[in-house]
Amino acid sequence: MNVDLYERIWMGAAAALIAVFLLAIVIAAGAYAIQPPSHVEIIDPATIHDHPEFGAPGVETRPDGSVVVTVVAEMFFFDPDPIEVPAGRPVTFRLTSPDVIHGFEVVGTNANAMVIPGYVSEFTTTFAEPGEYMVVCHEYCGMLHHNMGATLVVQEATE
């Protein structure tokens, strides 16, 4: 079978491009720990403010030293704000929304999730560097989407 030279070049280029994209996914998943969440948990968005956990969002340290941050994302703020967590320890975020889809991204880290009404988004990460981080909503959620943000304060490890 005769394949024209230019066609062979473009077939090769297309195959190389696919290989590059697949490699990018593997590198992101492996080296940067960027993965889709696997946690599925449902919640009634209408009763979030009376919910035992999400009715009083905040930062909690469990007896084993792990930290759980419960966050409600709603038009157009995050509660709590600021969020204060320790550096160098696993921090589990649990997020939900009573209204529309929001995003939760800690700029400059791999902490990033969609916040979907009816579901609890959960992920665990560790912040190595103390400092102040910007949290932004990265899903368009309405008129004041561009104002929706918070501050994450990562405090120097105390032990």
| Stretch near ligand CUA under the rule CB under 6 A, chosen from 3-11, 33-41, 53-61, 141-149 | 141-149
CB atoms within 10 A of CB 99: 15
Nearer to ligand CUA, 86 or 123 (CB): 123
- The residue type found at 63 is P
- Least distance CB 110 / ligand CUA (angstroms): 20
Quick one: residue 25, left, alpha or beta (phi over 0 = left, psi -120 to 50 = alpha)?
Answer: alpha
By CB under 6 A, is residue 150 in contact with ligand CUA? no
Residue 3 to residue 6: CA distance in whole angstroms: 8
Size of the site for ligand CUA (CB under 6 A): 8
Reference 121, options 148, 146, 101, 99; nearest CA is: 101
- Least distance CB 137 / ligand CUA (angstroms): 3
The DSSP symbol for 37 reads -
By CB under 6 A, is residue 89 in contact with ligand CUA? no
Q: What are the tokens at 156?
A: 């120097």
By CB under 6 A, is residue 91 in contact with ligand CUA? no
Residues 19-48 that bind ligand CUA (CB under 6 A): none
Binding residues for ligand CUA (CB under 6 A): 76, 102, 137, 139-141, 145, 148
